[in-house]
Structure 1
Amino acid sequence: MIKGIDVSRFQGMIYLNNVKADGIGFAIIKAGGSDDGFYIDSAYERNYAGEKAAGVPVGAYYYVGRLCISREDGIADAKRFLAMLEGKQFEYPVYIDLEETDPKNKAGATDAVIGFCETMEAAGYYCGIYASDISGFKDRLELSRLAAFDKWVANYISQPGYVESYGMWQRSSQGRINGITGNVDIDESYQDYPTIIKANGLNGFPKPEQPKPQKKSIKITVEYDDHIYSGLLEEQL
C-alpha cells in the first residue's frame, strides 16, 4: 500500500518537499472539469510542476458536471482532458471524476463514463473512474458495465463495500499533511501503477524498445556421394 493525496486549487500553495517528507508517495491533481463551464484548474500547472520537481509520482483527474449523461458527452470531455494532459507524463492513472449527475440518469452517466475511458485508452492513457462507493458507483452508475476499468473509490467510514475491486481508496477528506494548510484528501493505492504505466508506454511515457529477435542456427553434417559436408544453417526471420 502507498499513501497519497489528491489536490486542487482549494489546497492553495503546497510545499511539496514537506509533503514528500511526511510519507506521501503520490499525488492525483485536478486538471479541470465541466461542472462550471469548461475550465482548467487554476493550480493545475503549478501543482504538476511542483510534484515533478519534488519527485512525487503524479496522476490527474477531470471533474465532469451534471450534464455528462451520454456517450457523446463523455467523449467530448475526454478530448478536453487530453488537451490538458498533452506534453506531460503521469506515473499514476488519469481519472474521470463523476459526482454530480442526477441518479435518474444512471444509464446515460454510465454511457458517458465508458465513452470517456475508451477515448482516453485509445489515446494511450491508463484511465480510471473516481466516484463514491454508494452515492457514486451505486446510485449514479451501473457498476456491472464498468468491470473493464480501474476504480478509485471514496468511502470515509470504512473500506469500500459496494465496489469490491478497486485500485485506490480515498479514505478521508480531512487529512492533515505537513506542507498543506488545512484539510486534504488522503488516498491509498494498491497497485504499482508507475511500473505498469511505464512498462506499457502509457500516460505520455515512451514505449519501451522491444528486443530484436535473435536468429537461431544449427550445425549440420551430411554425407553425400562419399563426401562429408558440414556447416551452419541460419534461421530466416
Structure 2
Amino acid sequence: MNKKRILIVLLSILFILIIGVSIHFYRIKHARVDITYNDLVVEVYEKRHVSSFIKSINGKIIDDYIIDSDSLGKKNISFQYINTDNIKVTSFFDIKVVDKTAPLIWISDTYSLGVGSKRSLTDLILCGDNYDKKPKCYIEGDYDLNKIGKYDLVIHASDSSKNKTSKSFTLNVYDPKNVKSKERKTVYFSDVLGKYKNNKVGLDLSKWQGNVDFSKLSQAGVSFVILRVGSTRGNGGEYVLDEMFKKNISEALKYKIPVGVYFYSYASNIKEARNDARWVIKQIKDYKVKLGVSFDWEDWSYFNSYNISFHDLNEISNAFMDEISKAKYKTMLYSSKNYLELIWNNKKYDTWLAHYTDKTNYLGKYKYWQICDTGRVDGINGNVDIDIMYE
C-alpha cells in the first residue's frame, strides 16, 4: 500500500513538472516580441554594441556585447533580453559589414627621386588601405626614372570594395650631385628648458649620439632620457642591441636620470611584435626603467612590401604594447603627427608625438612631445632629439 502511495506521489510530481515545463515553453514560444531596428549597416572594424542597432525594444537586453565586425559581408546577430512579461527571449537580426573607406596614397603635389632609381614608383609611394592588405595601385602617365626632368602624373588606388583614390602630382627626377643640403635651425636645450619651466624636458638617445657625458646632462637640467634599446636587421632579421644602450642606461641611472626605452620595430605580424616585446623585456629586466617602453615603427618607405592593412599595423602595435604592459611596464606608441592622424588608431596606450615645430597643432592626446632632432646640449657632440614630458 505504501509503495502504491509513493508511486502516485511521484507520478503527480512528474505530471506537475511536465505541465510546468509545457507552460514555460509555451510562454517562450508565444512571448511578445516588439523590436524595431536602426540602420543595420556597420563599417568594418567599427565597435558597436548590440543595443546600437535597436531603435526600440519591449524589454531589457541581458548581454549588450560588442559585435564582431572584423570581416565584410552579412552577419547574423543573436541576443537575449527579458521582455515586459518577464520572459527571457532569444532574438536575431542580420547586419551588413561594409568598407566605405578609400585607400590612402601618401604623396604631396611633388615627388622627388634621384635619377637612376632601381625601385618602381608604385613601390616607393605609400599606398595602403584600412582593410585590404594589397590595394591596387597604378600610375597614369609617362615618365623615365633614368632621365632628369619633371613629369605630370596621376596615381590611382582602389580596394576590393571598389573604393577609389586618385592624386595628381609632379615627379621630379633630379641629379643628387646637384642638391645642396638645407641648413636647419639649431635648438638649444637651455632655451627649451627656459620655455617649458612647468614641464620636464629630456632627450632620446641612441648610438648616433656616440659617447654621452651624463654628468654634463645632469648639470644641464636633463630631467629624463628615452634610450634606444635595439632593433632587428630589417623585417625578419636578427635582434641587435643598440651598441650604446648598456653604457647609456648605466650612466643615466648612475646620475639618477629617469629612463625609458624604445624599440625600433620592423614587425609585419602579431607574432613578430610579441617576440619584439619579449626580447626588449629580457634586455631591460636588470635595470630600473621607470618611464616604460615605446613602440617605434617607421618603415613607411617599404610599407607596400609588407602586405598588411593599416588595421593590421595597429594590431601589431597593440600586440607589442599589450605584451609590455603584461610585464608591468608602462608603454606608448611613438610616431609623427601625420601618421598619428591618418594611420594610427591608438586609444589604449599613451602617445609619444614627434612634431618638429614651435607649437604643435596635433589635436590628439600625447604624453611626450619630441619637438626637434637638431637639439644641442652640453655633454653630447652633435644633434640630439629634445622631448617634453606632460604629467
The equivalent of 1:177 in structure 2 is: 377
The equivalent of 1:223 in structure 2 is: none
The equivalent of 1:122 in structure 2 is: 326
Structure 1 residue 137 corresponds to structure 2 residue 340? yes
Q: Of the candidates 354, 362, 365, which is equivalent to residue 165 of structure 1?
A: 365
CA RMSD of aligned residues (A): 1.6
The equivalent of 1:78 in structure 2 is: 277
Separation in structure 2 between the aligned mates of residue 163 and residue 20 of structure 1, nearest angstrom: 32
Query: In structure 1, the residue corresponding to 2:215 is in which secondary structure?
Result: helix
- Structure 1 residues 1-58: Cα deviation after superposition (integer angstroms, max 9, x where no partner): 1000000011001011111111210000010012543211000000001101111111
Alpha carbons of 1:127 and 1:25: their partners in 2 closer, same or farther (altered >3 Å)?
Answer: same
AA matched with 2:264:
Y
Work out whether residues 159 and 169 of structure 1, in 8 Å CA contact, stay in contact via their aligned partners in 2: no
Structure 1 residue 28 corresponds to structure 2 residue 234? no
Work out whether residues 69 and 111 of structure 1, in 8 Å CA contact, stay in contact via their aligned partners in 2: no
Map 1:5-44 onto structure 2 (within 5 A).
5-36=203-234, 37=237, 38-44=239-245
Query: In structure 2, the residue corresponding to 1:97 is in which secondary structure?
Result: strand
Deviation at 1:161, TM superposition (A): 3.3
Query: In structure 1, the residue corresponding to 2:333 is in which secondary structure?
Result: strand
AA matched with 1:88:
Y
AA matched with 1:153:
L
Q: Of the candidates 257, 282, 286, which is equivalent to residue 56 of structure 1?
A: 257
Work out whether residues 133 and 163 of structure 1, in 8 Å CA contact, stay in contact via their aligned partners in 2: no
Query: In structure 2, the residue corresponding to 1:115 is in which secondary structure?
Result: helix
Structure 1 residue 95 corresponds to structure 2 residue 294? yes
Structure 1 residue 152 corresponds to structure 2 residue 352? yes
> Which runs of structure 1 show a deviation greater than 3 angstroms over 4 or more consecutive aligned residues?
158-163
With 10-19 and 158-167 compared, the bigger mean Cα shift is at: 158-167
Deviation at 1:72, TM superposition (A): 1.8
- Structure 1 residues 138-197: Cα deviation after superposition (integer angstroms, max 9, x where no partner): 34x332xx2110010100024443451000000000000000000000000012xxxxxx
Percent sequence identity is 25
In terms of Rg, which structure is larger? 2
Query: In structure 1, the residue corresponding to 2:314 is in which secondary structure?
Result: helix
Separation in structure 2 between the aligned mates of residue 73 and residue 40 of structure 1, nearest angstrom: 17
Alpha carbons of 1:105 and 1:162: their partners in 2 closer, same or farther (altered >3 Å)?
Answer: farther
Separation in structure 1 between the aligned mates of residue 360 and residue 318 of structure 2, nearest angstrom: 21
Query: In structure 1, the residue corresponding to 2:309 is in which secondary structure?
Result: helix
Under a length normalisation based on structure 1, what TM-score does the superposition of the two structures give?
0.74
Matched residue count: 185
- Structure 1 residues 74-103: Cα deviation after superposition (integer angstroms, max 9, x where no partner): 112111111111111112121111111417
With 161-170 and 122-131 compared, the bigger mean Cα shift is at: 161-170
Q: What 5-or-longer segments of structure 1 have no aligned partner? A: 192-237
Q: What 5-or-longer segments of structure 2 have no aligned partner? A: 1-198
Separation in structure 1 between the aligned mates of residue 285 and residue 297 of structure 2, nearest angstrom: 22
The equivalent of 2:23 in structure 1 is: none
Alpha carbons of 1:55 and 1:128: their partners in 2 closer, same or farther (altered >3 Å)?
Answer: same
Query: In structure 2, the residue corresponding to 1:39 is in which secondary structure?
Result: strand
The equivalent of 2:70 in structure 1 is: none
Separation in structure 1 between the aligned mates of residue 311 and residue 233 of structure 2, nearest angstrom: 19
Instruction: Choose between structure 1 and 2 for higher RCO, CA contacts under 8 A separated by at least 6 residues.
Output: 1
